[in-house]
Structure 1
Amino acid sequence: MSDWRELRTTTWSMVALIFMVAFESLAVTTVMPTVSDALDGASLYAFAFAGPLATGVVGMVLAGPWSDRSGPRTPLLVAIGLFTAGILVAGAAPSMEVLVAGRLLQGFGGGAMTVALYVVVARLYPAMLHPRVFAWFAAAWIIPSLVGPAGAGVVAQHLGWRWVFLGVALLVVPTTLLLVPALRRIGPPETAGEAAPRGRLAWAALAAAAVLGLNLAAQVPLPWSVLVAVGTGLGALVALRAVVPAGTMRAARGLPSVIATRGLVSGAFLGAEVYLPYLLTERYAFSPTTAGIALTFAGVAWAGTSWLQGRLGDRLPSRTAVVVGSALVVVSVAGVLLTAAAHLPPAVAISSWTLAGAGMGLVYSRLTVLVLSYSAPGTQGVNSSALSIADSIGAALALALTGLAFAAVDRSPDAPFTAALAVAAVFAVGAALVGPRVGSGRPQAEESTDDAASSALRS
């Protein structure tokens, strides 16, 4: 274990990698219409976004057990290599089909990278530093949210859209080189985990297919879209049950509730976020740039409360952070929902969404901290991958259902937004109900200590 000063270079390297993932996510959203037009790929436009989310699930499942078994160094370097290769393929793509293939590879590497970085934190940093590290991870999204869309537009206009991809790939290499010395210090865990069972990989593949189906369901005409959503939704839930800790689907106390809360709160936040700019531009005549301010405010609030909870450390119990943060998300989504339903002033929606960012800043990092605290040596990767999988599937399910609700209701201009945001509100309420159960289990480290003490007393 090392202190914060000894790990500065490592910390900044990992934060930089997450920064690049965040920038790529936001930048691609900005330039994809240009890419689609240039490559005549309108039919694959949605797939270019849904694909990386789906393949990321498989990457998460593979990286978790691999990191537990051999340490996170090799899985992380392989994941970075795949992520970079995907960006290069997308940047050089002669057709939309090739670009989508690159995006699939990019998503696979990105999903594995996230899990491996969590294990690096678990293996290299003292537990007292975990909240601070994850606060920096969350803060790494704030600058891309401010400059990513505009920066991508400038690059696409003056250098061409390909450099939005290729430029990031060039930055990944030196950042990774700075991280390698620290990775060499991490050996295999004393208690090695097991390889990913073939059945687990099969379930991950099913989850990936279901995620794609859920995201594409809204593109299918009614009533077939409902059938697609039900079928793929059930498939996603069945697959999720097989790759998360036992008890997650019923929100059992402790680790299962941590995983369940992550899926629900991610679904609530993303399910509402994608419709807020749309609501502001359609119903309040905001320009796209002005509508984006609402997301910027939320990003700043997210980074701010994430930094604050990191500084507070153990003075702010994780259960309290999750309960308060989940409640803030409920209030926030309700505020945006009421704005759409009653056509309230747009300031209500913008201020509400700023509060949503604050709530997510409290919840997101602490859920990751709780997963590590509940994980015995050799299970940190598996549990971290389960957290990320729940995140992806929860968001995909919310997007599919909000999309179906939006398409199914057209009685008035405000009705589609109201219906979609109502679905997001259901996810938010679910997170608030499950959140209090996250702190009811006992950390594995504590249990191990108690078992040892009991053995000593019996001796």
Structure 2
Amino acid sequence: MSHSADPSSFSGPLPLQPERSGASIWDRQFVWTTLGAVSLIFLAALQTLAVTTVMPAVADDLNGYDLYALAFSGTFATSVIGMVAAGAMSDRKGPAIPITGAVGLFLVGLLIDAAAPTMEILVTGRLVMGLGSGGMVVSLYVVIARVYPANLHGRVMALFAAAWIIPSLIGPAAAGAVTEFVHWRWVFGGVAVFAVMAFSMIAPRLRGIPDSDDAPADGRVGARLGLAGIVAVAALVLNLAGKGEGIGLPTWGTGAVALGAITVVALAMRPLVPRRTYLAGRGLPSVILMRGLIAGALFGAEIYVPYLFQDRYGFSPTFAGLGLTAAAITWTAGSEITGRYGDRIGNRNIALSGIFLLTGALTAMALSAWLLLPPWIPIVLWGLAGFGMGLMYPRLTVLSLAYSTRNNQGFNSSALQISDAVGTASSMAIMGLIFTLAADGFTAVFAFSVVLALVALLPGFRLGHAAELRR
């Protein structure tokens, strides 16, 4: 590809490594990379779920409830900047330097939080951790693209999805036990120790990863970082607007702030994603757009699932998470299927099946909230949402790599993660407004999620056939 190639217009496909019949992600040359990469994903998931559990105790201990929300939203904000920085550096120098720096920032953030004497310092650690976690995932995608043959990418992404299931099942309980019987500081410190061990597995393999032969396809690093900062700040403003009266705004003011923030996010994001993404252009643009839409539909609605079970069905906090546990298990099952048979099933069929399952689950939740259906119905059917996402989510990552070349893997990987993160944060903020203003907040939120999932059909029909054409 020429040095002047546009990373946002390439529609591939181009194999990143030659196909190798019979190769496995557990072969000798891949095993330590596999173990290290999956361990880092596992720890990122564990940290996310564990912090959600222990943060009330942290805020109480440090007298910092006024900064409680910022401890979460700030991490998202800085992760966008980390994604762009890691993607740009990966395209220039390869993934070794950015992943080392990202893991380093992740560790520094954890250690700051483990020792934080005040809530202000703990939030500072969370901001540093966000830089690291955002950069770490993007860098890992580039590592996967350059280390493994293309026909193994689906298997690795299925394993990444599976790495979330154990934290989903035991992470909150384990973090709660550590907080209760030891101290919440060990939740942060323990993850830091294990992160060092995980990185030691993958670090020796990084030295052998080749750099790109071509110049980076996008050289506007400073401009992209500036835009990432704008996206991050606007996303924070949007989430604050979602709190409505909690920040002293009247209803009309809340809506105006939210609309302005969404506009700024959309404009600032435009150069950070492929051209024609907003128009569902065929190939890579539709991959990026669909990822943001389905992430917004599921993750935006997911935070209201346990809330519904507690508020409408009278479940305890422990049993209110049954639907989420079911979805975590079925997500892994869907990922395994698409990882093994994705090329045979086909991208359009995967998209249609996944969106059908996701839409069905969201519709069931809306009807359950409206008609108060028996509780087993939303619990079981929410598992369909996890299965549908398991089919689609890793497949979209595989397609983003298939539509990439060595000089734009970082750009495309960061675009995928930015779409994911911004889609989730934006939908959560909008749903917060809907929940506050609607007569039946639960029904309205789930109905809005159904609309988002249905809109994802448009890019779903235009994903292209990158993986199949490589054969």
TM-score w.r.t. the length of structure 1 is 0.93
1:164 aligns with 187
Cα distance in 2 for residues equivalent to 1:218 and 1:95:
27
- The reply on whether 1:184 has 2:178 as its aligned counterpart is no
Contact 1:58–1:108 (8 Å) recurs in 2: yes
Cα distance in 1 for residues equivalent to 2:239 and 2:329:
28
Report deviation, 1:220.
Answer: 3.1
Cα distance in 2 for residues equivalent to 1:406 and 1:22:
27
> What secondary structure is seen at the aligned counterpart in 1 of 2:38?
helix
- The reply on whether 1:250 has 2:279 as its aligned counterpart is yes
State which of 72, 85, 89 in structure 2 corresponds to 1:49: 72
Deviations 1:385-427 (A, max 9, x none): 0000000000011000100011112x4xxx1111222222221
Report deviation, 1:196.
Answer: 4.4
- The reply on whether 1:294 has 2:323 as its aligned counterpart is yes
1:198 aligns with 222
Cα distance in 2 for residues equivalent to 1:110 and 1:181:
21
State which of 420, 423, 429 in structure 1 corresponds to 2:448: 423
2:353 aligns with 324
Instruction: Classify 1:315/1:50 alpha carbon distance in 2 versus 1 (closer, same or farther; 3 Å).
Output: same
2:314 aligns with 285
Unpaired segments of 5 or more residues in structure 2? 1-16
State the number of aligned residues: 442
Report deviation, 1:144.
Answer: 0.2
Cα distance in 1 for residues equivalent to 2:401 and 2:437:
41
Unpaired segments of 5 or more residues in structure 1? 450-459
Contact 1:375–1:444 (8 Å) recurs in 2: no
Contact 1:374–1:445 (8 Å) recurs in 2: no
- The reply on whether 1:143 has 2:169 as its aligned counterpart is no
- The reply on whether 1:69 has 2:92 as its aligned counterpart is yes
Q: Which has the higher helix share?
A: 1
State which of 105, 116, 123 in structure 1 corresponds to 2:146: 123
2:267 aligns with 238
Give identity over the alignment, percent: 48
Contact 1:83–1:108 (8 Å) recurs in 2: yes
- The reply on whether 1:336 has 2:365 as its aligned counterpart is yes
Report deviation, 1:313.
Answer: 4.3
TM-score w.r.t. the length of structure 2 is 0.91
RMSD of the TM alignment (CA)? 1.7
Moved over 6 A (4+): 443-446
Cα distance in 2 for residues equivalent to 1:165 and 1:228:
35
Cα distance in 2 for residues equivalent to 1:443 and 1:68:
22
Cα distance in 2 for residues equivalent to 1:444 and 1:330:
27
Report deviation, 1:250.
Answer: 1.2
1:219 aligns with 243
1:456 aligns with none
State which of 41, 44, 49 in structure 2 corresponds to 1:26: 49
1:435 aligns with 460
Deviations 1:39-83 (A, max 9, x none): 111111111111111111111111112101111011001000001
Deviations 1:355-409 (A, max 9, x none): 0000010010000011111112211110010000000000011000100011112
Report deviation, 1:445.
Answer: 9.0
Contact 2:273–2:412 (8 Å) recurs in 1: yes
2:382 aligns with 353
Instruction: Classify 1:282/1:150 alpha carbon distance in 2 versus 1 (closer, same or farther; 3 Å).
Output: same
State which of 121, 133, 141 in structure 2 corresponds to 1:110: 133
State which of 103, 108, 114 in structure 2 corresponds to 1:91: 114
> What secondary structure is seen at the aligned counterpart in 2 of 1:284?
coil
Instruction: Classify 1:431/1:203 alpha carbon distance in 2 versus 1 (closer, same or farther; 3 Å).
Output: same
Contact 2:244–2:433 (8 Å) recurs in 1: no
Contact 1:89–1:99 (8 Å) recurs in 2: yes
